[in-house]
Structure 1
């Protein structure tokens, strides 16, 4: 593992250069350019595995690495309008080709792996901010130059419209302590609401539009996005015949003088999906692809973050979907609960360091259990049988440290009990190392 990291270290250091942008402290930026490079290497120990299926986490495999480099180009078009492009280069594979666990252990691992580097354009979108009132404009919030953010003043009370290609979780289900696999936790069920089957291609991005209202302590968001052409597909349904509505309400508050947020999200998808029970009733081979028809899927997520003490924050997410149909674009989870703590290193005189710990539990609906027991395969899981079902139980801890301006390293440890909801497999202990550079 260390050999792979050292081989890529010169690339990481090369990205640690000053920001290139136009503008100064006295006025807003007209354009900017930022970049990032992230390398993640993971491996797990040998674990109990009496049998394996097509989507099983392999009991014995070597170190797997993923590498991605992204450029963030921003351009101010007119008053309140910004356009962003994010070309990216990717390479590598997740453990077992990103299979075997509903709560997969690396948010940097896509469902599409390649031995050689390849390019893509994950984001190309327009953002328009509209001032709600002159009072809101005067009470603007100062923004620093950052990835997909132009320096300047943003009105505190505003309407924000986003149109184009981006990830739904860029705007929805965000959390200050658990949401960024390049900086904090890595597990899918920790950085996102596990049962939020959000619209996306195999890399996690969709086409759509969102509107956001921000006023005082409240925000509300709603969006329409296209699903992939088929479950877990690499191509999006550009016709929007298969689509998803997402809505979220957010309240910002103070508890004991410390800030926090509470969010409630709901989603509804319309697409050709296979019902688990229909696939089982049809008989072998048990496959939801054989019974796909127009269907809907609904779900919700509760998302909370709270500063608990100086340098200490906590988070909690609970999510659930109806569990009748196959997972479409995210992962095979019907119910999920995650919670954890994030401690800033200022507590021990290392403000550039962060220690995080989290627990997550993922479950399947009764219909999904019957489907996988009969030998069905999902997006990520499917051992060919499910003799003894059990909820996935995940523990994750990470320690991130700043090595130099714009360069950090992270050690990540995870324990996966009942991977793929199978009590006859595991537990698996996953060791990960992350190097991240940004400018």
Structure 2
């Protein structure tokens, strides 16, 4: 364990002091709090698209032939209370399957259940292993419903929450009540997260780091420091934490005509070895080879921002929107090849047709590239997910609709349909429609 993380865990240990020693306003121990919990989930997603128009394809193209892919993941969510306000969470998981075309060909990839690491044989991993400490700062007592990675109990409305260990950045940042969970709502990468939010992660979407959340009254301020992978889209995280990401987010909660809503503004900066599109093109012109950002990587920064909005319109209806942008002069590091993105949609529960636990969701997203990125891909460059060998640029436009049928308390079956215009920003290819069937069980 490196020095930075020894310091983080030392700080977490200090938070285990009796509350009377930390704050006079702290609440007494919650005698109804869960001491431990075990939950689980299994999700299988099968996705298919028919053949579509494509006069040419490259190394990272979506196959123009009729194709299907399947992915399955099974997770245990184990939680154990360590001390007052502190808990340890472990999430052992088994994965199997692939994304369409080995998870390439669309910048706003159509399945959030597919990782970039596919396998026919099931394999085990530990994507999350973290400690969370909640420090009560006063205000009304709030009941915390028992669930995955949340022990049942209570805490005060005003609090400080510290999370340290291995987890996903988007477990805490850029969350949205209506579009954020590929196991339960939308599937498209650029709908469930800000498309231009290049968040720190290994190839499965997880990292090591620490986050602090300060909640007071109507607002929450979050900040975090996270490890980048050794190389862009790598399976291994930087063991020395020399490449890292800082994230900050301000959340404001409000009421409009008595309906709750949230507005979040997020900023991030990645610091690591990354290639400039212009430098890659310049080198390619000198050598006559295909441009390759991996040949021109230098230590640099890449920043971006996300505006995230959610609003309840009626008890069964909510709307959402995200706008995101990043520095488009350098290659994407972890998430996907998007430099700007605008998405929005709605989520409607089934109350109006007597199916309270069913949900209909509709979303649309427009993704774009910077001028430097367009030139790079037009010259034959490859990115994390895209690269057709050439490029007739157009914004990537995606619509998605799903219906989630709650078969019974622990089982949901979802039909998801997406339509992609200009996949990988290429007017010469597509459009393509995709259909997915998702089966999700949990306890």
Task: Please classify the TM superposition score into its range, dividing by the shorter chain length.
Answer: over 0.9
Matching residue of 2:429 = 425
CA deviation map 1:393-426 (0-9, x unaligned): 0000000011112100000000001001000000
Residue in structure 1 matched with residue 361 of structure 2 by the alignment: 356
Give the structure 2 partner of residue 262 of structure 1.
263
Aligned to 1:169: 170
Q: Provide the rounded CA distance (Å) in 2 between the counterparts of 1:62 and 1:230.
A: 30
Structure 2 CA distance for aligned equivalents of residues 88 and 246 of structure 1: 26
Cα distance in 1, alignment partners of residues 347 and 267 from structure 2: 26
In the alignment, which of 28, 34, 43 is matched to residue 39 of structure 2? 34
Q: Distance in 2 between matches of 1:416 and 1:204?
A: 23
Which of 409, 413, 423 is 1:409 aligned to?
Answer: 413
Partner of 1:110: 115
| Partner secondary structure for residue 261 of structure 2 | strand
Equivalent in the alignment of 2:385: 380
TM-score with structure 2 setting the length: 0.92
**SS across alignment from 1:132:** strand
The corresponding residue for 1:98 is 103
Tell me the alpha carbon deviations over residues 350-375 of structure 1, each in whole angstroms, 9 at most, x when there is no partner: 10100000000000000000000010
- SS for the counterpart of 1:155 is strand
Offset of 1:310 from its aligned partner? 2.7
1:40-69 alpha-carbon deviations (Å, 9 max, x no partner) = 000001110100100000011432100000
User: Which sections of structure 1, spanning at least 5 residues, go unmatched?
Assistant: 1-24
Task: Measure, in 1, the Cα distance between the counterparts of 2:290 and 2:365.
Answer: 32
1:237-258: CA deviation from partner (whole Å, max 9, x where unpaired): 1211000000000000000110
In structure 2, C-alpha distance between the alignment counterparts of 1:208 and 1:324, rounded to whole Å: 27
Cα distance in 1, alignment partners of residues 136 and 73 from structure 2? 36
Matches within 5 A, 1:43-58: 43-58=48-63
Which whole-Å CA distance do the structure 2 matches of 1:144 and 1:184 have between them? 20
> Is it true that 1:390 corresponds to 2:394 in the alignment?
yes
Runs of 4+ in 1 over 3 A off after TM superposition: none
Once the two structures are superposed, the pairs formed by residues 189-268 of structure 1 within 5 Å of their partners are 189-268=190-269
- C-alpha separation between the residues in 1 aligned to 2:66 and 2:75? 29
Task: Kindly report which structure 2 residues correspond to 1:230-379, keeping only aligned pairs within 5 A, or say none.
Answer: 230-283=231-284, 284-379=289-384
Paired residues of 2:106 and 2:385 also in contact (CA < 8 A): yes
Output the CA distance in 2 between the equivalents of 1:276 and 1:67: 36
Secondary structure of 2:56's match?
A: coil
Query: Are residue 434 (structure 1) and residue 438 (structure 2) matched?
Result: yes
State the secondary structure of the residue aligned to 1:372: helix
**Alpha-carbon separation, structure 1, partners of 2:312 and 2:419:** 26
Residues 76 and 26 of structure 1, relative CA distance in 2, 3 Å threshold? closer
Provide Cα deviations, 1:12-50, integer angstroms capped at 9, x if missing partner: xxxxxxxxxxxxx97110000000000000000111010
Asked whether the 8 Å contact 2:106–2:386 carries over to 1, the reply is yes
Secondary structure, counterpart of 2:190 in structure 1 = helix
Distance 1:311 1:153 in 2: 26
Could you say what secondary structure the match of 1:157 adopts? strand
Structure 2: runs of 5 or more not aligned: 1-29
- TM (norm. structure 1) is 0.93
Q: Choose 54-63 or 77-86, whichever is displaced more.
A: 54-63
**Structure 2: distance between partners of 1:292 and 1:61:** 37
* Superposition pairs of residues 83-94 of structure 1, within 5 angstroms: 83-94=88-99
Q: Kindly indicate whether the alpha-carbon contact (under 8 Å) linking 2:50 and 2:67 is maintained by their aligned counterparts in 1.
A: no
SS in 1 for 2:357: coil
Instruction: Tell me the equivalent position of 1:9.
Output: none
Alignment-derived partner of residue 188 in structure 1: 189
Distance 1:155 1:166 in 2: 24
How far apart, CA to CA, are the structure 2 residues paired with 1:106 and 1:181? 7
Once the two structures are superposed, residues 138-168 of structure 1 have per-residue CA deviations (whole angstroms, 9 ceiling, x without a partner) of x121112100000100221000000000000
Distance (Å, rounded) in 1 between the aligned partners of 2:188 and 2:372: 25
